[in-house]
Structure 1
Amino acid sequence: MTGRPTLNQRRRDATRLEIARTAAALFAERGVEATTAEEIALASGISLRTFYRYFSVKEDAVAPLLAAGGRRWVLLFAESSAELPVREALERSAAESLTPADAAAVEAMHWTRDLLRDPRLADVWQRVHADSEERLYGVIAARCPQGADKLEIRLAAAAATTAIRVALEEWAFSDAPTEGPGSPRELGVRCMRELTAGLRLWAVVS
């Protein structure tokens, strides 16, 4: 979260995300098992060799899409006002990140729903959230005053990340819409409040 990514890194990230969208569309259409890495590469306009430079197995191809929402959430939290208590800042940023801003975001959420329903992608989903928790830990630590309890920061990152994960999983296995009752935003806020209620760190303001 320190410094802007280089132009090459942004290009690589954009390429990875485009491949992820292609893979998600193919997985939704054909299923994970019936889709090959070769087919993802062909549909993405890249060689199979290039595909394997970005991803070791076909299942990993959707990781950037699954991780995009979490990255946005952590970034929104990092950019929130330092005057807000940590708990409120996390809740606000989570609510914003779980609210689709346009038609493309709605489509991405529906892809996420399809991907979370496939048990073959469970390991990818867990790794995405483990990475998100590590990023969040660093951002929360940077926001807290010197001498803050590291265990409390770790618990905060774990609880907040779990809140988002559980909310998205509950939504994915329901028929709720992307906005309104039962939406990721509504479930995310509820889970965040319940899972973080007992943490002392939430009262800390930088």
Structure 2
Amino acid sequence: MSTPRTAPQQQSLTERRKAATQLDIASAAAELFAERGPEATTAEDIALRAGIALRTFYRYFRNKEDAVSPLLSTGGARWRELLAAQAAELPGADIEEALVRAARTSLTPVGAAGVAAMDSVRGLLRAAAADPALRAVWYRVNQESEEQLPPVLRSLSGLGGLTELELKMVSAGATDAIRLALEEWAATDEPADGPKGPAALAEQCLRRLLAWTARN
């Protein structure tokens, strides 16, 4: 018996629904952490705000801090997608300009919804500064992003002669440059779409990192 041709599409729809549910839970957790703080927020609170059963919450996440990981990982995923698109559309794209262009695009909020999303990230990073469990989630998200970056960077010009270790070093440096830019911005009240927002800070960090790398 042949497999129905619609099976891959059905699976894709299932995955999209799963991702949407995870993001809804993450948004609810971020709202509550901003309102009450992580310590005063329970998994039950998050499930109630998201409109799901507690067992559904634990089907997706191990604990309340882990619930925000989809929200925190969105920017990194978008950055890698933009880098991959540049590599595919512009073979041999300059590494520095590709990294900066992708970072600026992924960190520049579009419309009111984009600004609100960035403000949610700011609230989470502020909470993470004082909450070890939440900070561990943030570091894990960045580590996972870093580990997915080398194959994307390999296709950009200027990196063809690097060893695997050197490529991992570039990936770590670029990922941390953006992480530090976001943390620096989160500690301020600068608007997400302003001249001192995360996009501008990320460009500054990346250009300084790559200039230092080129000299050494």
Scaled by the length of structure 1, the TM-score of the pair is 0.89
**What amino acid is aligned across from residue 131 of structure 1 in structure 2?**
E
* 1:99 paired residue among 100, 103, 108: 108
Instruction: Look up the match of 1:188.
Output: 202
| Secondary structure at 1:190 match in 2 | helix
Aligned residue in 1 for 2:137: 124
Tell me the secondary structure at the aligned position of residue 15 of structure 2: helix
Structure 1, gaps ≥5 residues long: 201-206
Q: Distance in 2 between matches of 1:85 and 1:146?
A: 12
Residue type of the alignment partner of 1:21 = S
Write out the 4+ residue segments of structure 1 that deviate beyond 4 Å after TM superposition. Answer: 142-147
Listed as ranges, the matches of 1:109-148 within 5 Å are: 109-118=118-127, 119-120=130-131, 121-143=134-156, 148=162
In structure 2, C-alpha distance between the alignment counterparts of 1:179 and 1:198, rounded to whole Å: 27
Whole-angstrom distance in 2 between the partners of 1:83 and 1:142: 7
TM-score normalised by the chain length of structure 2? 0.85
Give, as a single letter, the amino acid of the residue that structure 1 aligns with 2:188: S
In the TM superposition, 1:45-194 aligns within 5 A as 45-80=51-86, 81-118=90-127, 119-120=130-131, 121-143=134-156, 148-194=162-208
Distance in 2, Cα, partners of 1:146 & 1:155: 14
Deviations 1:68-100 (A, max 9, x none): 111111111110122311221111000111100
For the Cα contact (< 8 Å) 2:145–2:175, is it kept in 1? yes
CA distances 1:27-61 after superposition (whole Å, capped 9, x unpaired): 11111111110111111121111101111010111
> 162-171 vs 175-184, which deviates more?
175-184
* Partner SS, residue 6 of structure 1: helix
Q: Aligned equivalents of 2:37 and 2:102: distance in 1?
A: 33
* Alpha-carbon distance between aligned partners in 2 of 1:13 and 1:75, rounded to the nearest angstrom: 17
After superposition, what is the alpha-carbon deviation per residue over 1:123-159, rounded to whole angstroms, capped at 9, x for unaligned? Answer: 1110110011011122113446766421221111111
Question: For structure 2, which runs of at least 5 residues remain unmatched after alignment?
Answer: 1-8
Contact 2:178 2:206 in 1 (8 A): yes
Measured in 1, the distance between the counterparts of 2:146 and 2:172 equals 6
For residue 179 of structure 1, report the CA deviation from its aligned partner: 2.0
Q: How many residues align?
A: 197
Contact 1:152/1:199 (<8 A) preserved: no
1:103 aligned partner, one-letter code: A
Shift of 1:180: 2.4
| CA RMSD in angstroms, aligned pairs only | 1.9
Deviation of 1:185 after TM superposition, in Å, equals 0.9
